[in-house]
Amino acid sequence: MLTAGTDLPQAMTRVAEVVESALETLLPSVEGAEARLVEAMRYATLGGGKRLRAFLVMQSAALFSVSETCAARVAASIEMLHAYSLVHDDLPAMDDDDLRRGKPSTHKAFDEATAILAGDALQARAFEVLAEPDTHSDPQARCELVAALGAAAGARGMAGGQMIDMQAEGKTLDGPAVTRLQALKTGRLIQFSAEAGAILGRAPMQQRHLLAAYGRDLGAAFQIADDLLDVEGSTAEIGKTQGKDAASGKATMVAVLGIDMARAHADMLARQAAAHLDGFGEKSALLKALAAFVVERRN
Amino acid sequence: MLTAGTDLPQAMTRVAEVVESALETLLPSVEGAEARLVEAMRYATLGGGKRLRAFLVMQSAALFSVSETCAARVAASIEMLHAYSLVHDDLPAMDDDDLRRGKPSTHKAFDEATAILAGDALQARAFEVLAEPDTHSDPQARCELVAALGAAAGARGMAGGQMIDMQAEGKTLDGPAVTRLQALKTGRLIQFSAEAGAILGRAPMQQRHLLAAYGRDLGAAFQIADDLLDVEGSTAEIGKTQGKDAASGKATMVAVLGIDMARAHADMLARQAAAHLDGFGEKSALLKALAAFVVERRN
């Protein structure tokens, strides 16, 4: 069924290399008084993370034979947007986390003001890269990418989800409320990553919707797996402070359903995600394998 | 010479009304758990400021007979971007200012986490609005707006300028260093506002460059006038804490040149700004009057 599973780690490593190289090109070090800001942007973005979102872009773009160079720019752009969100989430006024990807958070490695500005500048750069001609020959495609990323990142997306999450601390949310919170906070950007390939490939709307549905279910499964790791993993394994979400009373599906039920729910979502791609045939094998991977991972 | 000067206040008031209405439409209140975030975005953006950047967009667009509805969306987008920068600049980790436009700063009216997220979401919304079809029928124009705003807002623009400004506190910068700092921190966004009309109007590159040069000189003049007000104005008049920049040792042209020389330099820049528009004839009368206005204003 998910026979491509054995190729997945290799494919993910390759995408991580391709996106790292794109990020190096798109975020070069600079001379001058603003050098410190650019170093903080690079610190927050380069050399880290699973590059899940980049992988979704590259693989969904491959379904439509999009040029890898174009897809890598979109992948890098989404990774910049994601990195900015982590930098701001880790700030003392937000989740107050000193550790990220096994390294000091950006505000610890630099300072709070630099971290705020680095996040802000990463967001601006992400949109700038999407809008530049090298990203796609058709400006209509570039506009769709910008508008969709803006919606995914904003008040009805990632930022809105983070707001709900902060307000929920110490309160008890029910299942539907937690599902919506997570769908906004992490789901929308993961969904957009999967959709991006269809936008780049000028695919029919129906195929774009299938990839969006895949991304939505995958994102939900991924978030539950992440919350399970927070409860069960060690700090060394997950590269951020373990047990922190549970300790601060964060609203998660693990808290709502319990560990076993949450795991079963994540598995169901992963299978559902893969099923959306049945119509794409063998070409979607890696994306299907990814769905299985996100609920099995241990870091 | 600047005979349109008498019409300027009226024209500015009208633009402020048009952009306020556009912002109301583009930032509607929402139901749900993220309502607080949207309220903070509206608090930071609506009902305040001179709308200088919006005025530049609307008037430069009028030179090319661009539809006012389209121009108002771009004006609103730039005002959202500007508002986000003020929200973040006022944070305790940044300039730590409790007062803005005569009201409590966003982090005082709400809280720090909400202010950070509101700024983030305003930036995302600004790019989203620019990329949407209603902004211009030609997606090429929308992409140019997004890419130019991204560059103006990022590490080699506004965010970079703010970084340099933070690092310069307590140090003595020379004239060229202060000029570059201000050109990045406030100049690039003002320049983009003046250029935006040419992008919307699909104007020849030479005309776009003239408007950019106008915006650059106007922005520099505006910043010096702002710094003079910080030294000379009262808190009630300027709507933010008076004397704060001088007290914190901020790098300004007033500190470098002294009050009289700084005022003479601002006047020279304002005349130079207006001169760039000579080729546009009578149509540019309000933009020329604006150049005189920014160095004469008392709040």
- pLDDT score at A64: 98
Q: Which helix (H) or strand (E) holds B208?
A: helix B205-232
A277 inside 8 A of chain B by CB: no
Residue B143 has pLDDT above 80, yes or no: yes
Cβ <8 Å between B131 and A124: no
Q: Which candidate in A81, A87, A108, A163 is best for mutational testing of the B interface (most B CBs within 10 A)?
A: A163
Q: What would be the CATH architecture of the domain defined by A3-296?
A: Orthogonal Bundle (1.10)
Kindly report, residue by residue over A136-161, the tens digit of the pLDDT: 999 999 999 999 999 999 999 999 99
Q: How far apart are CA A175 and CA A180, in angstroms?
A: 9
Nearest to B114 among A114, A146, A163 (CB): A163
B-proximal residues of A, 83-122, CB under 8 Å: 84-85, 88, 91, 93-94, 111-114, 116-117, 119-121
A143 to chain B, any CB pair closer than 8 A? The answer is yes
Chain A residues within an 8 Å CB radius of B192: none
Using pLDDT thresholds of 50, 70 and 90, give the confidence band for residue A240.
low
Phi, psi of A137 (to 5 degrees): -70, -25
CB < 8 Å to B160, chain A = 34, 37-38, 121
Q: Which residues of B204-219 are buried (b: 16+ CB within 10 A; e: fewer)?
A: eeebbebbbbbbbbbb
Q: Contacts of residue B33 in chain A, CB cutoff 8 Å?
A: 163-164, 167-168, 177, 180-181
Residues B286 and B56: their CA atoms lie apart, in Å, by 10
The size of the A-B interface in CB pairs under 8 A is 192
Contact B146 A155 (CB under 8 A): no
Contact B38/A at CB under 8 A: yes
Confidence of residue B169 (pLDDT cuts 50, 70, 90): confident
pLDDT score at B19: 97
Rounded-to-integer distance, Cα B23 and Cα B202, Å: 24
pLDDT of residue A238: 59
Over 60: is that where the pLDDT of A223 sits?
Answer: yes
pLDDT per residue as tens digits for the range A83-124: 999 999 999 999 999 999 889 999 999 999 999 999 999 999
Smallest Cα distance from B157 to chain A, Å: 9
Contact A159 B120 (CB under 8 A): yes
Predicted confidence at residue B239, as pLDDT, reads 64
Among partner residues B91, B117, B144, which is closest to A163 by beta-carbon distance?
A: B117
Contacts of A34 (CB under 8 A, 6+ apart): B155, B156, B160, B161, B163, B164, B184
- Buried-state track B114-150, b at ≥16 Cβ within 10 A, e below 16: bbbbbbbbbbbbbbbbbbbeebbeebbbbbbbbbbbb
Instruction: Kindly state the tokens that stand for B57.
Output: 């967009």
Task: Tell me the pLDDT band of B94, cut-offs 50, 70 and 90.
Answer: very high
Task: Report the 10 Å Cβ neighbour count for B72.
Answer: 24
Burial (0-12, 13-18, 19+ Cβ within 10 Å), B45: buried
- In chain B, residues with a C-beta closer than 8 Å to the C-beta of A129 are 150
Backbone angles phi, psi at B184, to 5 degrees: -75, -50
Q: Which among B94, B131, B162 has CB closest to A146?
A: B131
* Structure confidence at residue A236 (pLDDT): 59
Q: A176 contacts in B (CB within 8 Å)?
A: none
Write down the pLDDT at residue B101.
86
Q: Residue B111: CB partners within 8 Å, gap ≥ 6?
A: A93
Q: Considering only A212-221, A236-245, A254-263, B10-19, which range has the smallest mean pLDDT? A: A236-245
Q: Which residue of B has its CA nearest to A144?
A: B131
Q: Do A113 and B41 touch (CB under 8 A)?
A: no
For the record, the structure tokens of A247 come out as 């300790």
Arithmetic mean of pLDDT over chain B: 92
pLDDT at residue B134 greater than cutoff 70: yes
Does ipTM exceed 0.90? yes
> For the segment B17-59, what is each residue's pLDDT rounded down to a tens digit?
999 999 999 999 999 888 999 999 999 999 878 899 999 999 9
A77 contacts in B (CB within 8 Å)? none
Domain map of chain A by residue range?
3-296
In whole angstroms, give the CA distance from residue A160 to residue A83.
Answer: 17
Task: Assign A298 a pLDDT band (cuts: 50, 70, 90).
Answer: low
> In sequence order, what E strands does chain B have?
99-100, 103-104
Q: What is the pTM of this model?
A: 0.95
Gap from B43 CA to chain A (nearest CA, Å): 14
B37 and A159 in contact by Cβ < 8 A? yes
Q: Does A130 touch chain B (CB under 8 A)?
A: yes
pLDDT tens digits along B62-79? 999 999 999 999 999 999
Please determine, for residue A5, whether its predicted confidence score (pLDDT) is greater than 90: no
Inter-chain residue contact A159 with B124, CB threshold 8 Å: yes
Identify the band that residue B2 occupies on the pLDDT scale cut at 50, 70 and 90: very low
**Residue B258 near chain A (CB below 8 Å):** no
Is residue A255 scored above 90 in pLDDT? no
**Is the pLDDT confidence value at A6 over 70?**
no
pLDDT in tens, B224-263: 999 999 888 766 565 666 666 666 667 789 989 999 999 9
